Chain A
Amino acid sequence: MRQSVRAKRSKGKNGFSPAVLPLILWTAVFVAIPLIYILGLSFLKRASTWGVELSFTLESYQQILDPQYLKVYGESLKMAFLTTLGTLALGYPFAYFTAKLKPKNRSVVLLMVMVPFWTNSLVRIYGWMILLRTQGVVNGLLIALGIIDTPLKLLYNFGAVLVGMIYALLPFMILAVYNSVEKLDWSLVEASRDLGASRWKAFWTVTVPMTLPGIMAGCVLVFVPSIGLFFISDLLGGGKTILLGNLIRNELLTARNWPMGAALSMVMMVMSLLILWLYRRVTGAKDMEGLV
């Protein structure tokens, strides 16, 4: 509808506008070309000292199917999946309850969620290191409460990395879900309750499906970055947990194998674009407006 009105208004000037050029130019030079360059690198041969030789090979792609790499993809996907699940489990009720608050309180709560964004994310992870270490706050609390006798080794394992990931990405989930819950037509929920649906049933059959766009957006916003955040597994995993992000970094910085790093980046990119494609297929969203 809107389009047809616009078409009339702009009197035939409906096509390409030259004012788009700066954006196109910038995007081409600083997004498209670097990524294509990486794609190209991934098909080159590794030079004996450094850099690449100009000869085509599928070596890197054969190598990324090596079982030890496959294991890393598995771990990364597991981590990303659990992170998404964790943020959803914690974030959905939070967003839901927030949307039900009085408008004045609502904005305060949302602001409280946003503020940590503005502090340094590394330092927040560092805060978790202080909390989780053997003689840290959490262990101290558990011992004081008499739940355990000897401190637990909470740091430097998969669980610690997971906690850090969920913590770092939770705000994205909350904000995405909130956007959706806020727009929810509560009268529909009321109607289903009036028709005799239990509170629980109304939630699952009406509220959840109607807030699905927000859930999906939140999942994408959490899942995609969690494959690549190498510093969290670096700091909380004690250097032992290797995720895809760490692997790429190691290929570049330690093994200095550019084609391999490039090939792994392509794997990661395909994974994320697949997730985005799925998101669009499921929600029917044409673009990612809901995501920022």
Chain B
Amino acid sequence: MRKNRTILPEMYLVLLLILLYLPIIVVVVYSFNDSKLFQWSGFTLDWYRELLDNKNIQQAFWNSIELAVISSVMAATLGTVGAVAMAGRHFKAKGLIENVATIPIMIPEIILGMAYLAFFTLLKIPFGMITLVLAHTTFCVPYIYINVKARLAGLDPSIGEAALDLGASRRRMFFDITLPMIAPAIASGTMLAFAMSMDDVVISFFATGAETNTLPLQIYSMLKMGVTPEINAICTLMLGAVFLIVALSRLVRLRRRTG
């Protein structure tokens, strides 16, 4: 190895990371700003207090959690079963099915959003949590399907083969061998799907109704209405939670490795 060490690469990484976090830091800082306007005028926790009182934001938050959990779990089921059933098989429509099933994340969201508005109106399904779940599940499926499919492709088929040769039923093979092996892929796909559902503005904008608001939609309408530091506050809390989860999971992994 030619070693010609400079710290330039590291500097670039740090610089870009700073740039990546700059807007987030600004949001966090302004969640403690006394003034509603952009000027800094002193430290306050008022916005967190107001957040506790703001039923709309809280309701929207729990709606989003519920929506993301249901959609990602349903999508995980659909996507996993589909990917396992398709793996290694060849039939005429396979390519077509795969392409259509993954289309939701391959085309700009607004197309699907408009399609759902028209489609659910046509079917007279009342807009609300049900339409949101249907829409979100659909765009969550590809994340899981693609992840699981990639994992299955990397598996050693001889393991399953051995199990079958030893007389295991296909079902037992699925639950005892395949499922544990693809579990990490299901988990990472589901997590990605969950994050995408939690953050979706465009499709939800078209697929929601009178009685259900999601957090991103609430934030969008509040941002359009003006400077509302409660949004900064809730995002600071969410960011804190994410960091906590990430830190905990790393800690657990570290423990497992050393212990």
Contact = CB atoms under 8 A, between A and B. Distances in A.
Tell me if chain B binds chain A.
yes
Interface of A: 2-3, 5-6, 9-10, 14-20, 22-24, 26-28, 30-35, 37-38, 41, 90, 93-94, 97-98, 100-101, 109, 111-113, 115-128, 130-131, 133, 135-137, 167, 170-171, 190, 193, 224-225, 227-231, 235, 245, 248-249, 252, 258, 261-262, 265, 268-269, 272-273, 276, 287-289, 291-292
A5 B161 CA distance: 10
Interface string B105-149: 111111110111111001000000000001101100111011101
B102 interface: yes
B114 A261 contact: yes
A10 B86 CA distance: 13
Given A19-B81, A20-B97, A170 B103 contact: no
A256 B243 CA distance: 43
A23 B96 CA distance: 12
Contacts, number: 249
A128 B141 CA distance: 32
B246 A111 contact: yes
9 tightest Cβ-Cβ pairs between the two chains A and B: A228-B108, A127-B23, A23-B82, A19-B85, A34-B115, A97-B9, A34-B119, A6-B88, A16-B91
Interface residues of B, number: 91
Interface of B: 1-2, 9-10, 12-13, 16-17, 20-27, 30, 38-39, 78-79, 81-82, 84-86, 88-91, 97-98, 100-112, 114-119, 122, 134-135, 137-138, 141-143, 145-147, 149-150, 153, 157-158, 160-161, 164, 189, 192, 195, 198-199, 201-202, 215-216, 219-220, 223, 231-232, 235, 238-239, 242-243, 246, 250
Contacts of B135: 30
Contacts of B102: 287-288
A214 to B, nearest CB: 15
A130 B242 contact: no
B108 A227 contact: yes
Nearest to A80: B108
B236 to A, nearest CB: 9
A112 B23 contact: no
A38 B2 CA distance: 58
A20 B82 contact: yes
Given A28-B100, A120-B235, 17 more contacts: A3-B90, A23-B79, A24-B97, A27-B97, A34-B118, A37-B118, A38-B114, A118-B238, A118-B239, A122-B220, A123-B219, A123-B235, A130-B38, A228-B109, A228-B111, A249-B110, A269-B107
B169 to A, nearest CB: 13
B43 to A, nearest CB: 17
A239 B199 CA distance: 22
Contacts of B202: 228-231
Interface SS of chain B: helix, strand, loop or mixed? helix
A22 B114 contact: no
A143 B39 CA distance: 17
Nearest to A249: B110
28 contacts: A2-B88, A3-B88, A3-B90, A5-B158, A6-B88, A20-B97, A23-B79, A23-B101, A23-B141, A28-B100, A30-B134, A31-B103, A94-B13, A113-B17, A119-B238, A120-B215, A120-B216, A123-B219, A125-B23, A127-B25, A130-B30, A137-B26, A193-B2, A228-B202, A229-B202, A231-B201, A231-B220, A292-B147
B106 A276 contact: yes
A140 B131 CA distance: 46
Contacts of A131: 22-23, 26
Contacts of A289: 146, 149-150, 153
Nearest to B105: A292
Contacts of A228: 107-111, 202
A181 B39 CA distance: 44
B33 to A, nearest CB: 10
Contacts of B112: 34-35
Given A19-B81, A32-B100, A133 B38 contact: yes
B142 A292 contact: yes
B107 A273 contact: yes
Nearest to A170: B20
Contacts of A291: 146
A16 B1 CA distance: 52
A113 B116 CA distance: 32
Contact of A288 (B10, B146, B215): B146
Contact of B91 (A15, A90, A122, A225): A15
A218 to B, nearest CB: 15
A115 to B, nearest CB: 6
A231 B224 CA distance: 10
